[in-house]
Amino acid sequence: MASILRPLVRQHRNTSAFNRSYFSRPPLVASFSISAPLQAKSGKKKRKPRKPSNIKDQYRQVQAQARKEANLARQKVLSRERTIALGDPVVSKSTPFMESLRSGQSLSDPALKPRNFLLSPDQYAQSLKISEDLARPSRPNVNMSKDPEQRQKDENEYRKQLEDHNISHTKSVAVLDRITSLEHGSSQDKTRANKQRCIEEFGRHQTDLTLPPRPIGPAQEATPPPPVPHQRVGPDTGSSEVQVAILTTKIDRMNEHVSRWGHKDKHNKRNLRLLVHRRQKLLAYLRRKERGGPRFTNLMEKLGLADAAWQGEISM
């Protein structure tokens, strides 16, 4: 039994000696120091700011909140004033030219009815006169050799034909008046007539005769004018003023449709937004090219457009 336990006791002694020698060694990693460095210890401690009393703190909060509310209220007032000063970017103001476009009456003579099918009032009156002359019955030849009773009979027959012709002509004029009247035309007919009126009102073949030229800069003053001025051929249909006027007539009619019946018409709402932004680009270009001259001023006044039509961001 002793011979069996002796090797086990020797092994236990060796193991315990190894453990004592291993754990008695100093650690390989330096110990971590949590104390502050010497430089930090030498510095002075910062004093904590003294907290104000609760009464003063509440009073300052109330004052700051009052100043903030007053500032926000003033910003709302200023924003509203700026918006009113800029005006509406879509709807035009009421001007004589815009009212004439909406009503279809002539600006020079309100009693003169506008005609459809691109007929001018002079052409319409001339056509009626020609048709009346062509349909008028011819007067019988007065032959003295005829019997007086026959001559009287021919004269009475001529008067009757002339009376029938006058009645027929009056009816024809009434029918033609209803057919060619723009009041009975479609929306496309009215838009086409308004386009023609815009060309006649704002085309440069007309405005060059009445409006002064734009102000010139130093570079233009140093450049000599051409010996022969450019001659315009035909009416002006593509200048920026004419395009803006035509877009304004389209915008006016489309806005009337959307505001009345098109609250769910997404397609026309998008088309209206595209037209408004296209007009904004043209107005900004015209103002930059004309330097805010009489041509730009005349266009804005006659169409009743506000500064919001070309200035700033248009969100609809």
pLDDT digits (tens, 9 = 90+) for 149-203: 888 888 888 889 999 999 999 999 999 998 988 888 888 888 888 898 999 999 9
| Whether this model's pTM surpasses 0.85 | no
Beta bridge partners of 115: 181
Which tens digits make up the pLDDT trace of 23-39?
Answer: 455 555 445 455 555 55
Identify the DSSP state of 115: B
Which tens digits make up the pLDDT trace of 70-83?
Answer: 999 999 999 889 88
Mean pLDDT of the chain: 81
Per-position b or e across 20-47, b if 16+ CB within 10 A of its CB:
eeeeeeeeeeeeeeeeeeeeeeeeeeee
- The backbone region for 234, taken as left when phi is positive above 0, alpha when psi lies in -120 to 50, beta otherwise, is left
Among 218, 230, 233, 238, which residue's Cα sits nearest to residue 286? 238
- Helix 96-103 vs helix 187-202: crossing angle, to nearest 10: 150
Rounded CA Rg of the chain: 48
Average pLDDT in the 6-17 region? 54
Which tens digits make up the pLDDT trace of 194-235?
Answer: 898 999 999 998 888 888 887 777 777 777 776 666 777 778
pLDDT at 23: 47
Identify how many contiguous H helices and E strands the chain contains and give both numbers: 12, 0
